[in-house]
Amino acid sequence: MAQMATLTAKQANEYLNARPKYPTIWYKVLAGRTSNHKVAWDVGTGNGQAALGVADYYEKVVATDINEKQISLAKPHPKVTYLHTPASMSDDDLVAKLGGENSIDLIVAAQSLHYFDLKRFYAIVRRVLRKEGGIIAVWVYNDLVVTPKVDAIMKRLVDSTKPYRTPTMNLAFDGYKAIEFPFKNIRLGTQGRPKALEIPHKLSLDGYLGFFKSWQPLVKAKEQGAELLKPSMINEFKEAWGDQNQVKDVAYRAFMLAGKL
């Protein structure tokens, strides 16, 4: 269902360390919208962060990813079953591993929907999501707000990635405004009108620069021979940051879509 395995496997360790933590209130709100709390499915689980958050509200979480390296780095949890689901796995096999038709109370896809084969994924969603009381929620973050000086340099860097971004990446940069999401509105973001959210976080300068190490537009550009984050720009970031030992309050801009059958 996804195309991201090769790219993220190269950066799996950096990705694990740089990714922000999703607010726990998100999981509580989503759990409050499902009638049952037996099984949740975290699709494209990556390091398992969303699966662990969902596990506080559901008896069982099945967390799947086509990237075996990411699965190997995911944090174990007694309620979470991690499954490597290669693209070659048949839909019927996947449905069976998830627990069968009409069996999932909550489906989440954090920072991953734009990589999926949406036609195939949504067909599976319609099979496994509970017809009554089940919901699907997806979200993406696409910007990092620090200070005006730092953000101005960041904007120049973001703009420089445009020639190297794929249409898939642009779905994320656009905050899921243009992505297909054919589910009934539950007032947590719907097709064409995602719900704007923020993810508060704390970052040191090293952590901020570490974010770029796993940032896929830069990785993609580097694969094509372009080093966009030049030493001169890193020095600009350092100067704009100020005290290099200071940990700053930052915010990731995020966007959510959620719905039901």
Exposure pattern of 172-195 as b/e (b: 16+ CB <10 Å)? bbebbeebebebeebebbbbeebb
Q: Residue 178 and residue 182: Cα distance in Å, rounded? A: 12
CA distances from 252 to 19, 158, 175 (A): 10, 14, 12
Query: Which residues does 239 contact at the CB level (< 8 Å), separation at least 6?
Result: none
Q: Tell me the average pLDDT across 98-124.
A: 97
> How open is the CA angle 167-169-170, to the nearest 5 degrees?
65
Supply the Cα-derived Rg of the chain in whole angstroms.
Answer: 18
pLDDT tens per residue across span 207-223: 888 888 778 899 999 99
pLDDT tens per residue across span 33-80: 999 999 999 999 998 999 999 999 999 999 999 999 889 989 999 999
Mean pLDDT for the chain overall: 91
How far, rounded to the nearest angstrom, does the alpha carbon of residue 169 sit from its chain's CA centroid?
A: 12
Q: Label residue 85 exposed, middle or buried (CB < 10 Å: 0-12, 13-18, 19+).
A: buried
Residue 125: pLDDT over 90: yes
In one letter, which amino acid is 5? A
The band of 18, judged by pLDDT with boundaries at 50, 70 and 90, is low
* pTM for this prediction: 0.89
Q: Tell me the average pLDDT across 92-119.
A: 97
